[in-house]
A and B are shown apart, each in its own frame.
Chain A
Amino acid sequence: MNLAIRDIRHSIPRFLLTAVGIGMLLMIVMGMSGIYRGLIEDALLLVDKIGADLWIVQHDTRGPFAEISRIPLKMEDRILAVPGIKSSRAFVSHTIQEERNDKPLRIVVQGLSWPQDKGEWIPMTNGRCLASAHFEMIADKSLGFRLGEKIYLGKNVYTVVGLTRNMVGQGGDGIAFFTVRDAIAIQFDNSGEAVRLERDARRSRAIQQDIGNSRPELLDRSSLPNIPALAGPMISAVIVQTEQGADIEKVAKTISGWKDVSVHTAENQRNLLLDGSVDKARRQIGLFRALLVVISAIIMSLILYTLTLDKIHDIAMLKLIGARNSVILGLIIQQAIILGGLGYILAFYFGRWIFPHFPRRVIITTNDLIGLAVIVLAISVLSSLLGIWKAMSVQPNEVLS
């Protein structure tokens, strides 16, 4: 006869309520690791999806994710000339913040190297890749744009031609893909006035020089639009795919010989992300999760202790009529495991229901589920120790008092 189950059946509402409480607690533990996984997944999303072998960034920087990197757009062509390189693409990425329906909307503006890269690699749910060098965008659903919608950014209007799901930047903001030229235009949205002022400044600088006085035609040139008033656009990095069978190490070594850039492998780039910006968040969440596990253990101990106290008279009676300790131990541990197991199952279903409503992704992996199951089992057994100690120390003749 199973005493644990019979006792539970005798007070089902109370037991269920307790299990729901434990379930919610475990759901939070589960959610913490899910948030952590989501954070890593989001951070690595671009690096993994873009499928580059090498990242070429500004000299001595760990860009473009961990810190700012600026290299000229021309670098794209220079790198393509290196033997063993199949393709090189400009990487432009920056976050802008717009007002939309009176709420701030943060968009990660991501440049695609038109025309080699039309965004074929982006997992799309609706629509198509970019088909024009200008004024088209592929947007993540989380940004709230509709297919075909026209969006004002900077001085231009862009049409949403494709939609993605779960394509977000490190900060969890939705990514919108443009051609590199458009992305740069959105970033360096200079006003006409700024351009005019810079031309005037150039003219007055020239007047102050000898060359300006000796060759006055230069002064006229400085105001003409055929010399750009402001410096040419910079990009964040160049991403490179090597040819089949090419020695990546060797290619990397050649390029890192250049004095104006540094080279990171894809693996390197992932590590930079994980050790840098994600690391603190990981430790923060890890500690919080550890605390929650300890708190769950304490709460479960108290619950199991109270459950045992409620039955202490019956336990004394069982001892009196000669029940072995294993009978009593079984009663307590089985209830602990049933409670923990039920809490775990409830946590899983609560989570499935609640986590999708979180603003950032909560990713529950099978490994994390197995890990948590082991933790719950350990907590259940550990937390029954207090109750077991109480049950073992009760004397059979206490039935009579």
Chain B
Amino acid sequence: MTTEIAIEVSHISKIYGSGNTEVKAMSDISLTISKGEVVGLLGPSGAGKSTLLTAIGLINPPTSGQIIIGTVLVMDGPLEMVDIREFRRKHIGYVFQKANLIPFLTALENVQIALEINDVHHKEARKRAIELFEYLGIEERKDSLPHQLSGGQQQRVAVARALANKPGLILADEPTAALDSFRGRQVMELFQKVAHEQGAGVLVVTHDHRSLDVFDRTFEMEDGTLN
């Protein structure tokens, strides 16, 4: 079985600021994530994990190096080679430490909007969002507003939103940091389930060494380099 590549990162570096305030957050990193695998990214605070994740997520352009999604060269250094907003919409799902749900939309609508901005018709979007809620076991909270949900529930809505457009790549930056260990474990297992059942590549940044077993591979990052 040939595994399909979700994303390929080649020799990317990131320098923040310039002159005296220059910070080299990441240097010469190459990495490939296949569809269906869950990759863990570990490392101390300030190691450059978020920088790498956001660079891959096309929301923080690298200073140099290339990012290839599927077979398309998306970023060449800081240059956008395609409409990256469209790429984000179609190919990448995001989960952060905070759920970042839109406060004036219900849980279900937060997922629906991700579908609708990707040109899925309103009714179809609602149907798919409900399916996702059932899949993630939160269907009874679908009409609640974000502030009426617990942290774990909010984070699951955020996961649902990340999955909505069936992306090939899911990026998660410390998704369990704000959850207790039980809820955190649930979310981690969710990523594993999604990767294995839906064939998405998943990259998870975490501090939590108790859930290492969910990862198919792990990387350790330190001072901007992978090992």
Q: Which A residues are within 8 Å of any B CB, using their own CB?
A: 1, 3, 6-7, 9-11, 313-314, 317-324, 327, 395-397, 399-400
| Structural contact, B102 and A324, CB atoms closer than 8 A | no
Q: B128 to chain A: which residues have CB within 8 Å?
A: none
| Structural contact, B117 and A324, CB atoms closer than 8 A | yes
Q: A321 to chain B: which residues have CB within 8 Å?
A: 88-89, 94, 114, 117, 161
- Closest B residue to A8 using CB positions: B104
Q: How far is the CB of A324 from chain B (nearest CB, A)?
A: 7
A1 and B94 alpha carbons, distance in the complex (Å)? 21
A228 and B104 alpha carbons, distance in the complex (Å)? 89
Q: How far is the CB of B165 from chain A (nearest CB, A)?
A: 9
Interface residue? B30 (CB, 8 A): no
Q: How far is the CB of B130 from chain A (nearest CB, A)?
A: 14
| Structural contact, B104 and A10, CB atoms closer than 8 A | yes
Interface residue? B85 (CB, 8 A): yes
| Structural contact, B85 and A324, CB atoms closer than 8 A | yes
A327 and B102 alpha carbons, distance in the complex (Å)? 14
| Structural contact, B89 and A397, CB atoms closer than 8 A | no
- Once A319-B85, A322-B89 are accepted as A-B contacts, the answer to whether A314 and B102 lie under 8 Å apart by CB is yes
Interface residue? B118 (CB, 8 A): yes
Interface residue? B90 (CB, 8 A): yes
A49 and B37 alpha carbons, distance in the complex (Å)? 90
Can you give 18 contacting A-B residue pairs, CB < 8 Å? A1-B112, A1-B125, A3-B104, A6-B105, A10-B104, A10-B145, A11-B104, A320-B59, A321-B88, A321-B114, A321-B117, A322-B87, A322-B89, A395-B59, A396-B59, A396-B88, A397-B59, A400-B96
Interface residue? B218 (CB, 8 A): no
Q: B94 to chain A: which residues have CB within 8 Å?
A: 320-321
A321 and B112 alpha carbons, distance in the complex (Å)? 12
Q: How far is the CB of A381 from chain B (nearest CB, A)?
A: 23
Q: Which B residues are within 8 Å of any A CB, using their own CB?
A: 50, 54, 59-60, 85-90, 94, 96, 100, 102-105, 109, 112-114, 116-118, 122, 125, 145, 161, 173
Q: Which of B54, B87, B89, B104 contacts A323 (CB 8 A)?
A: B89
Majority SS of interface residues in chain A?
helix
A11 and B147 alpha carbons, distance in the complex (Å)? 14
- Closest B residue to A10 using CB positions: B104
Q: How far is the CB of B65 from chain A (nearest CB, A)?
A: 18
A322 and B60 alpha carbons, distance in the complex (Å)? 14
A397 and B60 alpha carbons, distance in the complex (Å)? 7
Q: How far is the CB of A389 from chain B (nearest CB, A)?
A: 18
- Closest B residue to A316 using CB positions: B100
Given A6-B109, A396-B88, A400-B50, 13 other A-B contacts at CB below 8 A?
A1-B109, A10-B145, A314-B103, A317-B102, A320-B59, A321-B89, A322-B86, A322-B87, A322-B89, A322-B117, A324-B85, A397-B54, A400-B96
| Structural contact, A400 and B102, CB atoms closer than 8 A | no
| Structural contact, B88 and A322, CB atoms closer than 8 A | yes
Q: B116 to chain A: which residues have CB within 8 Å?
A: 1
A399 and B112 alpha carbons, distance in the complex (Å)? 20
A35 and B100 alpha carbons, distance in the complex (Å)? 52
Q: A314 to chain B: which residues have CB within 8 Å?
A: 102-104
Q: B114 to chain A: which residues have CB within 8 Å?
A: 321
A324 and B94 alpha carbons, distance in the complex (Å)? 17
| Structural contact, A399 and B100, CB atoms closer than 8 A | yes
Q: A323 to chain B: which residues have CB within 8 Å?
A: 85, 89, 113, 117
Q: B161 to chain A: which residues have CB within 8 Å?
A: 321
A213 and B104 alpha carbons, distance in the complex (Å)? 107
A9 and B145 alpha carbons, distance in the complex (Å)? 12
